[in-house]
Copies of this chain bind each other. A is one copy, B any other.
Amino acid sequence: MLGRMMDMPLTITHLLRRAASYHAHREIVSVRPDKSRVRTTYGDLATRSARLANALTKLGVKPGDRVGTLAWNHHQHLECYYGVPAMGAIVHTLNIRLAPAEIGYIANHAGDSVIVVDQSLWPLFEKFRASVTSLQHVMVVRDKNEPLPPGTLDYDAVLAEASPDFAWPELPENTGAMICYTSGTTGNPKGALYSHRSTVLHALTASLPDVIGFAMSDVVLPVVPMFHASGWGLPYAAVLVGAKLVLPGPHLDPTSLLDLMQQEKVTVAGGVPTIWLGILALLDAEPKRWDLSSVRTMAIGGSAAPPALIDGFRVRHGLSVTHAWGMTETNPVGTVARVKPHLEADVEAAKALRATQGLALPFVETRHVDDTGRLLPWDNQAVGELEVRGPWVSASYLKDEDAHRWTADGWFKTGDVVTICAEGYVRITDRAKDVIKSGGEWISSVALENALMAHPAIAEAAVFAAAHPKWSERPVAAIVTKPGASATDDELRAHLATQFPSMYLPDAYVRLEQIPRGSTGKFLKTKLREQYGNILLG
């Protein structure tokens, strides 16, 4: 039957056109290593993205080619987020927190032909550049008063010489736009290829009031690095709606971030729990120092946020937290913890719901299965691996690696172990690899950690499995106490005993200066197991 709708593709190119047409004067604030702030606009983003596309074309970059970035959050990185996909090429964000050999493996695996490097990250780049056999050109973003390394191109100088007009191609929406690699705690990192469609649909859905909610009146601070899973899509959502963007560069310490939030009147910030733990500690110490009245919400994701963190901001500082869950393979936000209106009345229950991973975003679907792949009931009891599907969930890794991560019926196996309640809230009890199997029972390390971090003396806690001659595994807690505070093993045991049966309580407490962290700021339990995994064997 004739009569149809226009076949307009959902592309990053449209976001760029929209930014130029409607929000040309909206500001992008970039913090440089010397803490000075550079102010550009969305109009600049549009013309500089075109200049970048012209420059890359001249360097031989063709549709489908990969352009790597090794960079902090700043406007040049944002230009790569837009200019590279809009020309039909693929931007590949390299995670600077990985070991150099790993970054080299990743850049080579993706076949990056050009890499855009921050000058301040040059020492890191030098450690792996030789291993990237596909590399043809290096563009350096100047951020220090030093000459550029020989044989490199000055990013800003090259753009200044390029034409500000580029005839953006009309791309099919399934065109690849961006590659992010998983942080890969087991085996080699795997690449996820985001499409224009997945990126745009994610930005649109993340902007819904019940997800993070973005409006043109917002001032968005992606604390999360742009080399993590598209900076959670914040750089795309902000441009979609015309919000001001604040890009913090390398300054991710609590004081710098709080200064930035106050001075730029940030309304929405997003980052991993460890960032917010530091900020909460500083706010607790100096509650009057910053005026954060502009802040509408702080999005926390990347790993499960302890309820004590969410509640600490809410109760002691009147700051709202939006707790979200996602993965590199979900482009990245999959669920968000919004309390349904009819569940708000029970204050304690609502508090608990805000600390779950929450409800699937529209168009994402969740389910969980037992070891045999059997679907489990949404009864808040049955524990199993979370599986997801949706238009911004990976259907495969680059080069089809690890195909066993997908089910026969097309769902992605997340590796997160969860319960789901009748209302649909997902609650992570563990990463599959962190599950503690003790005498046939599964003990949730996450539940124990959350309870420990609610203790007034505890700053950080990570619970891991230690080998045990009788029970196979038993939980052990690594803890960091707050400055000047202390708690004995007996006190901690008594604290936990009010909430857990005795068989769930850790058999030992290891006191550390800091919990070891992985490249994305998550606690590195593999390291704890390596060091303390035999502590109970005597």
Contact = CB atoms under 8 A, between A and B. Distances in A.
A396 B3 contact: yes
A211 to B, nearest CB: 10
A341 interface: yes
Contact of A214 (B174, B209, B217): B209
Interface stretch (A17-25, A125-133, A253-261, A529-537): A17-25
Nearest to A389: B6
Contacts of A270: none
Contacts of A474: none
Interface stretch (A79-87, A189-197, A280-288): A189-197
Contacts of A242: 210, 340
A208 B210 contact: no
A3 B215 contact: no
A267 to B, nearest CB: 11
A500 interface: no
A390 B398 CA distance: 32
A38 interface: no
Contacts of A395: 4-7
Contacts of A115: none
A431 interface: no
Contacts of A424: 21-22
Interface stretch (A359-367, A456-464, A511-519): A359-367
Contacts of A4: 174, 176, 193, 195, 394-396
Contacts of A389: 6, 8
A209 B198 contact: no
Nearest to A338: B216
B359 A22 contact: yes
A242 B343 CA distance: 14
Contacts of A210: 215-216, 241-242
A393 B213 CA distance: 25
A380 interface: no
Contacts of A209: 207, 209, 213-215, 241
Contacts of A262: none
A455 interface: no
A399 to B, nearest CB: 5
A217 B350 CA distance: 15
Interface in A22-38: 22-23, 25
Contacts of A412: 6
A205 interface: yes
A327 to B, nearest CB: 13
B197 A399 contact: no
Contact of A204 (B5, B214, B362): B362
Nearest to A7: B395
A14 B363 contact: yes
A64 interface: yes
Contact of A341 (B193, B216, B365, B400): B216
Interface string A392-419: 1111111110000000001010000000
A1 interface: yes
Contacts of A23: 340
Contacts of A340: 23, 216, 242
B390 A2 contact: no
A172 interface: no
A331 interface: yes
B365 A25 contact: no
A377 interface: no
Contact of A8 (B6, B176, B179, B390): B390
Interface in A341-367: 341-342, 359-360, 362-363, 365
A391 interface: yes
B359 A410 contact: no
Nearest to A359: B22
21 contacts: A1-B176, A1-B398, A2-B398, A4-B174, A4-B176, A4-B193, A5-B195, A6-B394, A6-B395, A7-B391, A8-B390, A8-B391, A10-B201, A10-B391, A21-B424, A22-B360, A207-B208, A208-B215, A209-B214, A209-B215, A210-B215
Interface of A: 1-8, 10, 14, 17-18, 21-23, 25, 64, 174, 176, 179, 191-195, 197-198, 201, 204-205, 207-210, 213-217, 240-242, 331, 338, 340-342, 359-360, 362-363, 365, 389-400, 410, 412, 423-424
